[in-house]
Structure 1
């Protein structure tokens, strides 16, 4: 318990010594996360939408996603730094985090389309809508919650993994953990871990709110109506039988 108290005391003191200040480290952590997830989204979301809309290439996407998840991030980062050179360490780190983010984004994009009731899409085609209109007016709005869920998962994975960027001198919150270990400053190590966890929880909460907000209004109303009907049916089943009803019948 004393270690945690010391860790919080270190955070509140703001005395990071030779390390970057906590606000600067948080900005570095968020910058690498945002850039990596954005690049991964540009690559994965159109590919996922194509797979979900056409139904083609799903097996390839699953195989690629599985392979990307199996790659150890730390090993890949070190390998890319060795291959690209020390002058391109930021680029090597971003490539590593992009590869980490792609599987969740790809899965969120195509599963969002696959979860849509096919009768809704068939109704759109019967009304004369083009494939482009079906994509943007039906599939994208209805698949948006699962896509945001994919972005949420990718962001949490990346923001936690960006911690290893400090190992190659790129800053971020990981610098407190990595540099504190050889100094035997457990308060700094635990403080850095607490900051990473707190940042991830804050981002998770924000994306949870966003995921709820992007649910289509019609879907929300239908779900509410369905829930109300289910509750009414339950109340009717639980209603007591009037005394003497059997005798009267």
Structure 2
């Protein structure tokens, strides 16, 4: 990841390289940097120069030295909304539709760009995640399927090679990880949905692999439309089941009187 600095071996050159690694998403929030000795060797700079660079990065709140040893990339993915707004949205289901509208647009754009810009390693990563999804599906590991679902969408965002889009998506997916808008495992508990969603992810990956931005966009939009409808149906089914449960209780209540 780190490259030798051939000339102008200054602290500014080190700062610039590490900043670009963070900006391009190669260094993530929470990643630990190599030890001072190893990092200085990889960069080809003296340890005093490296210390000056790390101090600058720390002053800019990009890295932090943690108690117990080690230097880490700071938590750089800020929330889209404040905690108060997130709580507010979670209490009002009318906002869920707006959430899917947002995701439909931004993820379709990411898939389209990925079809144009994805590097061979991006394609390999998508293919690998998809294979893991198939294996989790075969063994009916719902938790693994749900986690891999999120990994897949992260990989598509990274394959788009757009810095602003990448960090926006990461912030968006942080909310999804918290289950604010919907519980992924709830979707995967529906047998038909598990198979359908797997096929949809395969279609997105195939379009990106084939370099077809139109097909990638359409596959992404169709996926979000399906998830929105499937979750709505699951919610309605839960309501019907709750009502049926109440009806089963009615005769017992009547007898007790």
Decide which structure has greater helix share: 1
Larger Rg: 1
TM-score calculated relative to the size of structure 2:
0.29
Higher relative contact order (CA 8 A, sep 6+): 1
TM-score calculated relative to the size of structure 1:
0.30
